[in-house]
Structure 1
Amino acid sequence: MQTTIQTAVSFHGVGLHSGEPARATILPAQAGQGIVFRRSDVAAGHGRIPALWDHVHQSPLCTRLENRHGVTVSTVEHIMAALVGCGIHNATIEIDGPEIPILDGSSAAFVRGILRHGVRHMNAPVSALRVLKPVEVRRGAAMARLLPNESLTIEFAIDFEDAAIGSQRKLLNMSNGSFVRELSNSRTFCRKADVDMMRANGLALGGTLENAVVVDGERVLSPGGLRHDDEAVRHKMLDAVGDLGLAGLPILGHYQGIRAGHALTNNLLRELFSRPDSHEIVLCDSATAGHLPGAGVHWGEIPEVA
């Protein structure tokens, strides 16, 4: 059955790129609504922004959504990943500005808040998007692909010249609670040279060594080092889970990403929905529900941050 969060939960922090204070509150929502962002700081009737692939205003550094009034919300990928990974189908996310708080740069705080406040099962069946045929998009050396599969699996490969990251590859099934256990506390990462360039261009003003993993060659500059030896590829997988959540329905398919980013994953969804023969919408029975993202999450289990 469809789900929503049991009670409201709020998060306070700063926007990664604006550096301004930011507050986001996840609220329960009715069955069939899906995930919707709502800006509380704009004119009444203009602040509703559906969390859907065709509302993405592509940006190389984050996922930004925009409605028909030109109202935007940025850096939605980590909170979207938490909702998908915890199996929440309906929620309203009220925010008081244009950016979701970055918190520690991962989904861990969002996951802990969702798990602590609980899930409410609704009197409405859940539908899923089943991939029927391979769909692929490329941009230079980067590739993103969706293949038929009985559950959502995420496979990702990255290759960076900085020895602190290097080449990493990982594959995980998202239907056994592995998002919460394996991916949720993996932080966004960047090279020191990229930080310097972004700061020079007025970006990443809220970025610190506490909310991102910053590397410089062989060195990890963030205090405490890495939470996982392969934290970088795990975070790319986390981003992919959040960006795929903008399909509007749980996905049953195998995602493969090679050097892919937010824009390429959004292009993949656009390609998928442009080809009606590539997918179908299925009403989930009890067997299918066990393959959905978030299946197997233990609601009494609050993940520890390493």
Structure 2
Amino acid sequence: MKQRTIGKRVEGVGIGLHKGEPIKLILEPLEADSGVVFYRSDMATSFKAEPSSVLNTQMATVIGNEKATVSTIEHLMSAINSYGIDNIRVILDANEVPVMDGSAISFCMMLDEAGIVELEADKKVIVVKREVEVREGDKYVKLTPSTNPKFNYTIKFENPVIGLQSYTFEFSKENFINQIARARTFGFLKDVQKLNSMGLALGGSLDNAVVIDGGKILNPEGLRFENEFVRHKILDAIGDISLLGAPMIGDYEAFAGSHDLNHKLTVALLSDEKNYEIITLSEATQKEYEKAFA
């Protein structure tokens, strides 16, 4: 199995969630062993999508260096990872990835337009060798060995619109497009109003988020899935875990997880070489793992 990149350069424009201003997004092909590279065209600086680049996980996953940052990368990273893309350049003229409709489906459409091409180099994956867990109170995230990756997520909110929701997602590109990619980010009206007063979430609207007020959903079209909330949490988790720097072969499980816990989980996995193995998918090894890249 070979490494992948995109077939051509594609461009898009969307609103930034926090600043509320238009942001230009360009995706470009990269050669083998380049990884996912973010480039701030307005600051002339690049950084790779990897755990050491993570600077903040409070409200979204933020990566960067001493010169610049990019926020809210998780939806785009989720699509890139689920399409099996190993090498790509993400060019932005602002400090956040545009929110689009609050899901990953717009990024899937850009990747479909660009097309996927295989490179000469063999694909590398990171295989989970033993259980790794990060727990804070009753909240936890963990990785366990598996040759058929799954994301098993449970959320519990006091709000009756969400309540207790669980979903298990069997990882593949087709399943991602059909089951996860269209699930939108969500929030509560009172929290949005508070963020607006702080100069944040100025681009947030019913066009790019599911907004809940008390016991009702404000979006006139309602939900895209009955359990859209937990599906979006899986979307976020796929994006966060993809910062490992190579496709992950293992199972992910979470109860009330977060961007912060996901980042701590990637750091914990990589902190001990007994936790994982990086392997090259030659013809002899790819059969065991090829379903994950269908």
Assess same fold via TM > 0.5.
yes
Q: What corresponds to 1:271 in structure 2?
A: 268
In the alignment, is the contact (CA less than 8 A) between 1:24 and 1:94 conserved in 2? Answer: yes
Three-state SS of the structure 2 residue aligned to 1:92 is: strand
Aligned-pair CA distance for 1:152: 2.2
In the alignment, does 2:259 pair up with 1:281?
no
In the alignment, does 2:26 pair up with 1:25?
yes
Q: What corresponds to 1:55 in structure 2?
A: 53
In the alignment, is the contact (CA less than 8 A) between 1:209 and 1:222 conserved in 2? Answer: yes
Q: Where in structure 2 are the equivalents of 1:58-207 lying within 5 Å?
A: 58-67=56-65, 69-175=66-172, 177-207=174-204
Q: What corresponds to 2:4 in structure 1?
A: 3
Q: What corresponds to 2:228 in structure 1?
A: 231
In the alignment, is the contact (CA less than 8 A) between 1:157 and 1:167 conserved in 2? Answer: yes
Three-state SS of the structure 2 residue aligned to 1:57 is: strand
Find the aligned partners of 1:33 and 1:18 in 2 and give their Cα distance.
30
Is 124-133 or 53-62 further displaced after alignment?
53-62
Aligned-pair CA distance for 1:275: 1.3
User: Residues 119-144 of structure 1: CA distance to partner in whole angstroms, max 9, x if unpaired?
Assistant: 11110100110001100011223211
Q: TM-score, normalised by structure 1?
A: 0.92
Count matched residues. Answer: 290
Aligned-pair CA distance for 1:173: 1.1
Find the aligned partners of 1:48 and 1:180 in 2 and give their Cα distance.
29
Runs (5+) with no aligned partner, structure 2: none
Give 4+ residue runs of structure 1 displaced > 3 Å after superposition: none
Find the aligned partners of 2:195 and 2:141 in 1 and give their Cα distance.
26
Q: What corresponds to 1:34 in structure 2?
A: 35
Find the aligned partners of 1:269 and 1:7 in 2 and give their Cα distance.
31
Find the aligned partners of 2:129 and 2:98 in 1 and give their Cα distance.
36
Three-state SS of the structure 2 residue aligned to 1:177 is: helix
Aligned-pair CA distance for 1:289: 4.5
Structure number with the higher strand fraction is 2
Report % sequence identity: 36
Find the aligned partners of 1:81 and 1:59 in 2 and give their Cα distance.
16
In the alignment, does 2:218 pair up with 1:221?
yes
In the alignment, is the contact (CA less than 8 A) between 1:53 and 1:246 conserved in 2? Answer: yes
Letter of the 1:144 partner, please give it.
V
Find the aligned partners of 1:194 and 1:110 in 2 and give their Cα distance.
27
Find the aligned partners of 1:124 and 1:94 in 2 and give their Cα distance.
24
Find the aligned partners of 1:273 and 1:154 in 2 and give their Cα distance.
19
Find the aligned partners of 2:130 and 2:15 in 1 and give their Cα distance.
41
In the alignment, is the contact (CA less than 8 A) between 1:252 and 1:291 conserved in 2? Answer: no
Letter of the 1:193 partner, please give it.
K
Aligned-pair CA distance for 1:30: 0.4
Aligned-pair CA distance for 1:175: 2.8
In the alignment, is the contact (CA less than 8 A) between 2:62 and 2:72 conserved in 1? Answer: yes
Aligned-pair CA distance for 1:56: 0.5
Find the aligned partners of 2:173 and 2:106 in 1 and give their Cα distance.
20
Find the aligned partners of 1:61 and 1:10 in 2 and give their Cα distance.
26
In the alignment, is the contact (CA less than 8 A) between 2:25 and 2:91 conserved in 1? Answer: yes
User: Residues 158-183 of structure 1: CA distance to partner in whole angstroms, max 9, x if unpaired?
Assistant: 01111111110001111362111110
Letter of the 2:160 partner, please give it.
A
Q: TM-score, normalised by structure 2?
A: 0.96
Runs (5+) with no aligned partner, structure 1: 297-306
Find the aligned partners of 1:269 and 1:215 in 2 and give their Cα distance.
31
Three-state SS of the structure 2 residue aligned to 1:265 is: helix
Is 233-242 or 276-285 further displaced after alignment?
276-285
Three-state SS of the structure 1 residue aligned to 2:200 is: coil
In the alignment, is the contact (CA less than 8 A) between 2:82 and 2:173 conserved in 1? Answer: no
Letter of the 2:51 partner, please give it.
W
Give me the CA root mean square deviation.
1.2
Letter of the 2:4 partner, please give it.
T
